[in-house]
Amino acid sequence: MDLRQLRYFSTLAETLNFHRAAERLHMSQPPLTVAIRKLEEDLGVALFERDPRGVRLTAAGRAALDPAREALAAAERVREVVRQGAAGLRGRLSIGFIGSAIGELVPRIVSPFRQAYPQVELVLEEMNSVEIVRAIAARRLDLGLVRLPVLDSSPVEIDVIERDVLVAAIPREDALARRREVALGDLGERSFILYSSVSVLHAATRLACQRAGFVPRVAQEATQVQTILSLVEAGLGVALIPARSARFAGAGVRIVPLAEPIPIDMGLARAPGAGPVAANFVRAALALHDSEPISKPGK
């Protein structure tokens, strides 16, 4: 017994006429007659009573009709699920993200994606950028929101999805806080609050300071931007933070643009040849990026 035979049986049971059933099935009547007879032989029981006026279901046929319909419906559900999976409409997506993305970027991307693809299960995990890239390369994650540049050689593909620059966070009492912009070299005599050493922003800050001609004097390291800004507000030093994080600054912190902007973009990382669910997420994220203006220093 196969789905084709069940479809023939169900259609004939609904029409009770071989000719009309064959028309509905887009086939000629003789092959349908042969198929029904073969099904009855396989089952060892008659499903239809035949007479010159047509056919009618036997007791066995009536008992078989609902299960046959259920089997056909189940097969159609399998086809639909497979189609949805191939189109990326259904499945599971594991996404790594850095802490600074959770406040704005993650909701801005994830919320419309969930509305567009409600049957995709999203699993989010916070990591640093290097951990995310390595997890994607090892196929433990599908995608990752990372801070650029990622200083790791793992084979992943990365698209820029959010433009940003570094700005200076300076205690309000500091004389430099009154400037409209500040050269990075002017901060060389200040103590610095750095992101922890596992962060891309840690390496970016050190590299930027080196290019400006000095090595930053590190007073403290922290993981979260809110903590860094609190330490700046306490007067422990200055910091370089992404412009998009400036909204977390308290009243005692002045955000001052750098005279020479330092890009510090956000990227969406994925393994080469990512599946259709991941591809849909990437397209949605890139569409948001294309429609959004680049952030301005100090805004």
Is it the case that residue 293 has pLDDT exceeding 80?
no
| CA–CA distance, 256 with 190 (Å, rounded to integer) | 15
CA of residue 196 relative to chain centroid, distance: 27
pLDDT, mean of residues 54-58: 90
- The pLDDT score that the predictor gives to residue 296 is 37
| CA–CA distance, 280 with 71 (Å, rounded to integer) | 32
Summarize pLDDT for 242-283 with one digit per residue, the tens: 998 999 999 999 999 999 999 988 999 999 888 899 999 999
- What are the DSSP calls for 93-148, one per residue? EEEEE-GGGTTTHHHHHHHHHHHH-TTEEEEEEE--HHHHHHHHHTTS-SEEEEES
- The pLDDT score that the predictor gives to residue 154 is 81
Joined tokens for residue 285: 């994220």
Contact 61, 13 (CB under 8 A): yes
Is it the case that residue 151 has pLDDT exceeding 50?
yes
Q: How confident is the model at residue 180 (pLDDT cuts 50, 70, 90)?
A: very high
Summarize pLDDT for 123-146 with one digit per residue, the tens: 999 998 889 999 999 999 999 999
Nearby residues of 198 by Cβ (< 8 Å), 6 or more positions away: 128, 130, 131
Higher pLDDT, 73 or 103: 73
* Best mean pLDDT range from 44-58, 101-115, 151-165, 169-183: 169-183
Could you give the angle at the alpha carbon of 172 between the alpha carbons of 179 and 237, nearest 5°? 100
Is it the case that residue 223 has pLDDT exceeding 90?
no
| CA–CA distance, 200 with 196 (Å, rounded to integer) | 9
- The pLDDT score that the predictor gives to residue 295 is 40
- The pLDDT score that the predictor gives to residue 290 is 58
pLDDT, mean of residues 105-114: 90
